[in-house]
Amino acid sequence: MRSLAVAVLLCASSLPHSALADQELVISAGKGLDSTLIQRDSIAGAEMAGFSYAHDFASFSFDSGLWQWWVQGSYSYLWMDYRGDNQYQEVFELKPVLRWYPAGVYHGWLAEVGVGAAYLTHKDFGEIELSTKPNFALHFVGGYRLQNGCSVSLRYSHFSNAYTNTPNPGFDFASLNWHFSF
């Protein structure tokens, strides 16, 4: 995982500056969640680390604020000890993301929602037994963007097959994220 992160950073730093104006690298750390929200079983003992790359491809100003469409690719790695067994789960995501700045400027409070596709490398993780490895991905974000373009955010992520197959227990985690804009 470390070598993949280094490769992404090296690749991003080698692109010309003008091509990087509306892009982000997001570094994430978080925890699995219990069955309080959408998922049926708990992975509350899981730890999570990951990163995302996002590109802003459209921005619109309205009376309600500044709205942006992003495309985002993400990789997350979760691990936990479950009944004496060291388990891990890798999650690959690709999705469009809608971001909103209520103040109408590119800094300050922000909210975000994304819906797309995900691939999970294992059907079983902790108490959760998924029926499919391909899943739908959904996330909600609240955060704050600084004047320098960097942001901090809290993200809730949910993965499930949306009842295209049974069972559909779902898979959730929360993360704290740091966004590097370039």
The answer to whether residue 43 is domain-embedded is: yes
pLDDT tens by residue, 137-152? 999 999 999 988 899 9
| C-alpha to C-alpha distance for 68 and 52, rounded to whole angstroms | 17
**What residues make up the domain containing 62?**
22-81+92-181
The answer to whether residue 5 is domain-embedded is: no
The answer on pLDDT for 20 being more than 60 is: no
Distances (CA, A) of 120 to 82, 91, 133, 144, 180: 18, 5, 5, 29, 26
Whole-model pTM: value is: 0.85
Q: What is the pLDDT of residue 166?
A: 83
Confidence grade of residue 36 (pLDDT, cut at 50, 70, 90): confident
Confidence grade of residue 110 (pLDDT, cut at 50, 70, 90): very high
The answer to whether residue 13 is domain-embedded is: no
Instruction: Please give the tally of structural domains in the chain.
Output: 1
CATH number reported for the structural domain that contains residue 53 in this entry: 2.40.160.20
The answer to whether residue 103 is domain-embedded is: yes
The answer to whether residue 96 is domain-embedded is: yes
